[in-house]
Amino acid sequence: MQLTQKEEKMYQGEYGETIRKSMEILVALGDIYDAQELVDITSAQVSGVSYKTIGDAGMEYLEDLARDPQAKTKIPSTLNPAGVDLDRWEELGFSPEFTHRQQRIVEAYGKMDVMTTCTCTPYLIGNVPLQGSHIAWSESSAVAYANSVLGARTNREGGPGALAAAICGKTPCYGFHLEENRRANLLVDVECELQGADYGALGYLVGQTVGDGIPYFTLSNRPVVDNLKGLGAALASSGAVALYHIEGLTPEYQNAHPEEAEDKITVTWDDIQEVRENLSTSSEKADLICLGCPHASLEEIRDIAETLQGKKLKNELWLCTSINMKAAAERMGYSQMIEQAGGKLVCDTCMVVSPIEELGFEVIGVDSAKAANYVPSMCGLEVVFDDFKNLIVEK
Ligand code: F3S
């Protein structure tokens, strides 16, 4: 890979040890993927935050890095969800031991100037890259959103790769950074109209077929932004999709060259219903409903608050979101409506990356295909996948 003079100095350690180590990671990635050069980035989104997933080794690695005063991000960088709600952890039942370690991880990132937003929907809270800009994001659902809906350019970075990119302000230029790798290779003709959790079911189905390819959807009705975040999250969880196009809607569909795609599938209403049924591992009622995967938008919070008006829930309800959305929901009165029904707005974390399995729940109800896919394997709990209103049990 060709480095500029300045990059060569960074690589040789003239700007300090952390920048040298970070360049080492970027150059190694570039060599693996045959990149010709590094490219400047305008934004990073860093995963590898929950103590549940990175453990003591990850925590100590980050604390070591953060001790170096040179270890500061060069560009706006935000953080993925952590393992607990950093404010309400005690009330939610998370242990002080786990929480203490989680706080150390978040503090280490904060010292490196990664904004400790702890959300997987950074694009809802101001980390919004422009179309065509190069970025290094690592949360897979956010990567799918950034590439597909915003038209920015990122590979599916690992946590250390995204952090190294944030510290150097650069990433290796390969894969989705290059125009020629953004063309569709599977046509998906969706014959039925979709709503709510159907988008996740569609993403789950197509992700299994396309793997790490690029699907090009022709839809029968027009989705809204919240549908797209659910679709992308599911595509990225059953497959490894980082980019999709929707005819007439997403910013790059006209450059996607669908006529060159090798395969085509048709998705019917029966296909969607079959996926919806298969994603549930239990026919029991959920003892915890867990929504907000990816983290809920203000509109989603409002819809849930309105659905709950006048109801008292028998099952517990967590609605996962960012602290920014929670603040807006409080101002609008949505938070209070949810709490009055017995639910909670939960920030900074989610049903997959928190140690939810330690809290005594057995069946988790979700309306996200990504969560339905991961809760059984990552938490060892049963899952029911359905639209929110069907998961409610009233007192
Ligand atoms: Fe976000 Fe957790 Fe889902 S990180 S995309 S809410 S699994």
136 CA to centre of ligand 1 in angstroms = 18
Ligand 1 contacts CB of residue 81 (under 6 A): yes
For residue 129, cis peptide bond before it (omega within 30 degrees of 0): no
Atom of ligand 1 nearest to the CA of 140: 5
Task: From 297, 352, 373, give the residue whose CB has the most ligand 1 atoms within 8 Å, as the site to mutate.
Answer: 352
What's the gap in Å between 15 CA and the centre of ligand 1?
A: 36
For the chain, give every domain's residue range.
5-179, 183-277, 280-391
Nearest CA to ligand 1 atom 7: 352
pLDDT of 79 reads 98
* CATH code for residues 5-179: 3.30.499
Q: How far is the CA of 84 from the centre of ligand 1 (A)?
A: 13
pLDDT-derived band at 292 (thresholds 50, 70, 90) equals very high
Q: How far apart are CA 171 and CA 30, in angstroms?
A: 8
Ligand 1 near 245 CB (within 6 A) = no
Give the whole-angstrom CA distance, residue 18 versus residue 10: 10
CATH ID of 183-277, from 3.10.270.10, 3.40.1060.10, 3.40.50.10800, 3.90.1150.10 = 3.40.1060.10
Secondary element (H or E) of residue 384: strand 382-385
- Rounded to the nearest integer, the mean pLDDT of the chain is 97
Q: What is the pLDDT of residue 138?
A: 98
Q: Please, which contacts does 121-128 make with residues 24 or more away whose CB atoms are closer than 8 Å?
A: 121/145, 121/229, 121/294, 121/295, 121/297, 121/322, 122/45, 122/78, 123/149, 123/150, 124/295, 124/297, 124/322, 124/324, 124/325, 125/78, 125/322, 125/324, 125/325, 126/324, 127/43, 127/45, 127/76, 127/78
Give distance in angstroms: CA of 293 to centre of ligand 1.
5
Task: Report the pLDDT value the prediction gives residue 187, as an integer from 0 to 100.
Answer: 98
In the reported structure, the alpha carbon of residue 11 is separated from the centroid of ligand 1 by a whole-number distance in angstroms of: 34
User: To which H or E segment does residue 347 belong?
Assistant: strand 343-347
Q: By the 8 A CB rule, do 149 and 232 touch?
A: yes
**pLDDT in the model for residue 113:** 98
Predicted pLDDT at 249: 98
Q: Write down the pLDDT at residue 80.
A: 98
120 lines ligand 1 (CB under 6 A): yes
Name the residue among 172, 180, 121, 29 with its Cα closest to residue 325: 121
Q: What is the edge-to-edge ordering of all strands in the sheet holding 363-366?
A: 343-347, 316-321, 288-296, 363-366, 382-385
Q: What is the pLDDT of residues 19-54, one digit of tens each?
A: 999 999 999 999 999 999 999 999 999 999 999 999
Phi, psi of 260 (to 5 degrees): -90, -5
Q: What percent of the chain has pLDDT over 90?
A: 100
Q: How confident is the model at residue 301 (pLDDT cuts 50, 70, 90)?
A: very high
Q: 118 CA to middle of ligand 1, Å?
A: 11
The CB density around residue 42, as the number of other CB atoms within 10 Å, is 14
Q: Is 141 in the pocket of ligand 1 (CB under 6 A)?
A: yes
Report the alpha-carbon angle 321-324-329, nearest 5.
75
What pLDDT sits at residue 321?
Answer: 98
| pTM, two decimal places | 0.97
pLDDT band at 339, cuts 50/70/90?
A: very high
What is the atom index within ligand 1 of the atom nearest the CA of 80?
Answer: 4
Tell whether ligand 1 has an atom less than 6 A from the beta carbon of residue 144: no
For ligand 1, pick from 293, 349, 374 the residue to mutate: most ligand atoms within 8 Å of CB: 293
The per-residue pLDDT for 124 is 98
C-alpha of residue 264 to centroid of ligand 1, in Å: 29
| Selection from 352, 305, 347, 303 nearest residue 325 by Cα | 347
Residue ID of nearest Cα to ligand 1 atom 6: 293
Q: Residue 312: helix, strand or coil by DSSP?
A: coil
Average pLDDT over residues 180-206: 97
Under CATH, to which class is 280-391 assigned?
alpha beta
pLDDT the model gives residue 272: 98
User: Measured from the CB, is residue 353 less than 6 Å from ligand 1?
Assistant: yes
Instruction: Determine whether the shortest distance from the Cβ of 229 to ligand 1 is under 6 A.
Output: no
Q: Tell me whether the CATH fold assigned to 5-179 matches the one assigned to 183-277.
A: no
Residue 220 has what pLDDT? 97
Of 119, 353, 356, the one to substitute when testing ligand 1's pocket (max ligand atoms within 8 A of C-beta) is 353
296 Cβ closer than 6 Å to some ligand 1 atom: no
Pairing relationship of beta strands 38-40 and 170-172 according to DSSP bridges? antiparallel
Q: DSSP state, 333? A: T
Containing 339, the helix (H) or strand (E) segment is helix 334-340
Candidate from 235, 290, 350, 356 with most ligand 1 atoms within 8 A of CB, to mutate: 350
**Residue 100 in tokens:** 């203490």
Cα Rg of the chain, angstroms: 21
Ligand 1 in reach of 383 Cβ (< 6 A):
no
